[in-house]
Amino acid sequence: MLKRLKALACAALFAGLGAGPAVAQGDLVMAVWGGGGANTWREAFIKQFAPAGGGSVKMVEVPNPAGALRSPAANQYNLALVTYFEAIALSNAGLIESFDDKQLPGIADVDPKFLTKDKAGRHVGLPVYFTYYGIAYNTDLAKAADFASWQRLADAKWKGKLSLTRPVYLAPYDAVIMARAMGGSEKDIEPGFKLLERIVPNVLATYTSLAHMNTLLTRGEVAAVPFYASRIWSLRRHGAANVDIVIPKEGALMLPYVVVIPKGAKNQDRSLVWMNYIAGAEPQLRAALLDGWLPMNSKVKLPDDLQKTLGQPYDKIVQTLYSPDWRVVVEHNEDRVNRAEKLLSGVKQ
What pLDDT score was predicted for residue 347?
Answer: 79
Mean pLDDT across 174-179: 98
Whether 148 has a pLDDT exceeding 90, the answer reads yes
State whether 281 and 337 are in the same domain.
Answer: no
Per residue in 6-53, pLDDT (tens digit) is 344 344 333 444 444 455 557 999 999 987 789 899 999 999 999 887
Residue 276 belongs to a domain: yes
State whether 263 and 247 are in the same domain.
Answer: no
Of 105-114, 158-167, 247-256, 335-344, which gets the smallest average pLDDT? 105-114
Mean pLDDT across 174-183: 98
Average predicted confidence (pLDDT) for the chain: 90
What pLDDT score was predicted for residue 292?
Answer: 87
CA 170 to chain centre: 13
State whether 234 and 107 are in the same domain.
Answer: no
Of 18-32, 69-83, 309-323, which gets the smallest average pLDDT? 18-32
Residue 18 belongs to a domain: yes
Residue partners of 64: CB distance under 8 A and separation at least 6: 8, 11, 12, 33
What pLDDT score was predicted for residue 8?
Answer: 43
Residue 16 belongs to a domain: yes
Per residue in 244-295, pLDDT (tens digit) is 999 999 999 999 999 999 999 999 999 999 999 999 999 999 999 988 899 9
State whether 76 and 66 are in the same domain.
Answer: yes
The span from the first CA to the last CA of the chain, in angstroms, equals: 20
Residue 153 belongs to a domain: yes
Residue partners of 191: CB distance under 8 A and separation at least 6: 178, 179, 182, 183, 184
**Beta-carbon neighbour count of residue 160 at 10 Å?**
11
Of 2-16, 172-186, 213-227, 303-317, which gets the smallest average pLDDT? 2-16
Contact yes or no for 9/90 (Cβ under 8 A): no
State whether 230 and 264 are in the same domain.
Answer: no
Mean pLDDT across 155-167: 97
Please tell me whether residue 102 adopts helix, strand or coil conformation: coil
Residue 320 belongs to a domain: no
State whether 338 and 207 are in the same domain.
Answer: yes
pLDDT band for position 63 (cuts 50, 70, 90): confident
Amino acid in the structure at residue 2: L
State whether 36 and 182 are in the same domain.
Answer: no
Q: For a pLDDT cut of 90, what percent of the chain falls above it?
A: 75
Residue 269 belongs to a domain: yes
Handedness of CA 66, 71, 72, 73 (dihedral sign): negative
What pLDDT score was predicted for residue 312?
Answer: 81
Say what the pTM is: 0.86
Q: What is the CATH number of the domain that holds 151?
A: 3.40.190.10
State whether 178 and 220 are in the same domain.
Answer: yes
pLDDT band for position 238 (cuts 50, 70, 90): confident
State whether 232 and 298 are in the same domain.
Answer: no
State whether 335 and 211 are in the same domain.
Answer: yes
State whether 226 and 149 are in the same domain.
Answer: yes
Angle at 293 between CA 166 and CA 214, to 5 degrees: 40
Which domain does 337 fall in, by range?
131-254+326-343
Q: For a pLDDT cut of 70, what percent of the chain falls above it?
A: 92
Please tell me whether residue 224 adopts helix, strand or coil conformation: strand
Q: Which of 329, 206, 284, 232 is nearest to 44 (CA)?
A: 284
What pLDDT score was predicted for residue 12?
Answer: 39
What pLDDT score was predicted for residue 25?
Answer: 58
Burial class (CB in 10 A: 0-12, 13-18, 19+), 167: buried
**Total domain count for the chain?**
2
Q: Which of 70, 48, 98 is nearest to 282 (CA)?
A: 48
State whether 218 and 335 are in the same domain.
Answer: yes
Residue 349 belongs to a domain: no
